[in-house]
Amino acid sequence: MRIALRTSGGRGEYEVAGSHEAIRVHDVIDREIVLELLPGFKFPTNNFVRHTQGKPRIRLFDPHSDHHIYLVLAAILLLPKPKREIGATPGGKLQVYKDNFSVMSIPFDVVELSNTEIVVSPTQMVLSNSTFDSVRLDVIERLRIVMACWDAASKQSSAIANAVLQFRNAFNSGDVRAVIGAAESIRLANIEPDDPLRHITKDLNLPNLDELMWLGVHATETEEAMALGEENLEELKEAARNRVKVWQQVVLRGAAGAKFSNDVRQAYDHTCLFTGMRLPKTPATGSSGVDAAHILPWAEYDLNAVSNGLCLSKLCHWAFDAGILQLSYNTPTSTYGIAISAGALAAESVGLLKLNGLKDIQGVVSTSVLPKDSSNWPNPLFLKAYNRALNF
C-alpha cells in the first residue's frame, strides 16, 4: 500500500491507495496511521484515513496542532521541509532543498491492523517537483545514516552534537511534536538551504562511507517514478525480503562486531540454539562450529546486545538467513519454537530441496539451550519484525 499525493485541486490531497495482501483500502477507513520505523518504536501521528468525497483521504485529528504525515516522516528522516503544493516548487532537475520538492508517494508495509489503528512501516519516498523530475529515497538507508549521526554525536561536545542528541531523545520518546521541533532546530542551524543531514555528517566527521554521498536519495527514471505511483508497485514479499537484506548489510563491523560475536557464543556456551550441539573451538577442530547471528542489525536498538543474536551452527545460520528455518516466540506460553517455513516446504515438494535433517529439529526450544540470563534470550520484538519482513 502507499500514501499518495493527488495533485488536482490546488494544494493537492494525500490519500491511501493500493492493497497489502488481503488488506484493501476500505479496511483502513477511520484508522489512525501509526508509523513504525524500528521494531517496537511507534509514532502515533493523529493522521486518520477518512472516507471523504468518495476517496480515502488522510485527515488530521486536530488541524490546528497536528502535522501531516508527510511532514512527520520528513522530520524523522531529517529531510529539508517539503511543500505540499507541488505546483509551487521549482522545475528542472530536482534538488532536495527546503520547499524545492513535494512528497509524491510513500510506499509502506502494513505491520498491524486493528479497529482503531493501521501501523505502517514506510519503505521509500518518491520526491518530485513541478516538472515531475523525481528521486527515490530509501527509508532504511536514510535512517541508518541518521542513527550513525546519533552514535557520533554521543562521543562529541558541540552545538550540532547536542542538537542531534536532542533529536535522538525526541525520537526515542515517540512524541511526534518533539521530533518535529528537534528536526526544525537542526534545519535552522544550517546556513545553507540544502539537506541538513549532509551538514550533520560533515560537522560530526562521519567516515566517508559510499552511502553518505547520496544520503539515501537515488535517481529515478521517469518510467520508474510513474510505476511508484501505481497500485501494483511491487510484490510485497520481494520488497520485504529486500528490506531484510538491507538490514543485514548495515551490521556494525570491527571491534563492536567482534565483541558481539564473542558475547553471544559465551552466553550460549558455544551451543547451537536449534540443534543443541555444543561446537566450541578446540585444538582438534581449530575453529568454532557456531556463529553469532544477528536478528536485526540496528545500532541504537540493541544491535550488538546478546538479545539481538542467536548462536547457530554454520548450517542452521545459513538456513535461518535463507528463510528455511523460522524461530518464533509464543507469548501465551512464553516459549520459542522452530519450524520449517511454508516456502521451504513448497520448494521441497517440487524437488528443489531435501529437508529431512532440518525437519527433525522442529518444535519447542528447550530452555536448557537458552542463555542462563533470561535478559539475553532472543528479543520477541526483533523476532516478530524479522519474521514479518519475510512474510512468515
Residue 46 has a pLDDT of: 96
240: in domain? no
Q: Which of 234, 260, 279 lies at the terminal end of a domain, its last residue? A: 234
For residue 354, give its domain range.
Answer: 249-389
Same domain, 302 and 216: no
SS3 187: helix
Range 82-88 average pLDDT: 91
Residue 257 has a pLDDT of: 61
Residue 386 has a pLDDT of: 83
243: in domain? no
Q: What percent of the chain has pLDDT over 90?
A: 53
User: Which pLDDT band holds residue 261 (cuts at 50, 70, 90)?
Assistant: confident
Residue, of 304 and 321, whose pLDDT is higher:
321
Encode pLDDT of 267-297 as tens digits. 999 999 999 999 999 988 888 999 998 887 6
User: Which pLDDT band holds residue 301 (cuts at 50, 70, 90)?
Assistant: low
Residue, of 257 and 171, whose pLDDT is higher:
171
For residue 187, pLDDT beyond 70:
yes
Encode pLDDT of 335-346 as tens digits. 999 999 988 999
Residue 221 has a pLDDT of: 53
For residue 236, pLDDT beyond 70:
no
User: Which pLDDT band holds residue 235 (cuts at 50, 70, 90)?
Assistant: very low
User: Which pLDDT band holds residue 10 (cuts at 50, 70, 90)?
Assistant: low
Round the average pLDDT of the chain to a whole number and report it.
85
CA–CA gap between residue 197 and residue 201 (Å, rounded): 6
Same domain, 227 and 270: no
For residue 250, pLDDT beyond 70:
no
242: in domain? no
241: in domain? no
**Looking at the DSSP assignment, which residues form a beta bridge with residue 109?**
121
For residue 232, pLDDT beyond 50:
no
Residue, of 259 and 159, whose pLDDT is higher:
159
Yes or no: say if 78 and 186 are a contact pair by the CB < 8 Å rule. Answer: yes
Same domain, 335 and 205: no
Q: Which of 234, 266, 301 lies at the terminal end of a domain, its last residue? A: 234
**Rounded to 5°, angle at Cα 137 from 236 and 79:** 135
Encode pLDDT of 190-207 as tens digits. 767 789 998 899 899 887
Residue 22 has a pLDDT of: 85
72: in domain? yes
Same domain, 201 and 282: no
**Residue 174, Cα to own-chain centre: how many angstroms?**
15
Range 234-256 average pLDDT: 50
Same domain, 212 and 132: yes
What is the total count of domains within the chain?
A: 2
Same domain, 175 and 279: no
For residue 36, pLDDT beyond 80:
yes
Q: Which of 106, 17, 100, 95 is nearest to 69 (CA)?
A: 106
CA–CA gap between residue 150 and residue 312 (Å, rounded): 31
Range 14-41 average pLDDT: 89
Same domain, 123 and 254: no
Same domain, 358 and 228: no
Which cell is 78 given? 531529517
Locate cell 488530521: which residue? 60
157: in domain? yes
Same domain, 172 and 268: no
Reported as type and span, the H/E element at residue 175 is none
* Start-end of H helices in the chain: 69-76, 139-153, 159-173, 176-189, 196-203, 210-214, 222-227, 236-249, 254-267, 314-321, 342-349, 356-359, 380-389
Residue 252 has a pLDDT of: 43
Yes or no: say if 103 and 127 are a contact pair by the CB < 8 Å rule. Answer: yes
Same domain, 197 and 113: yes
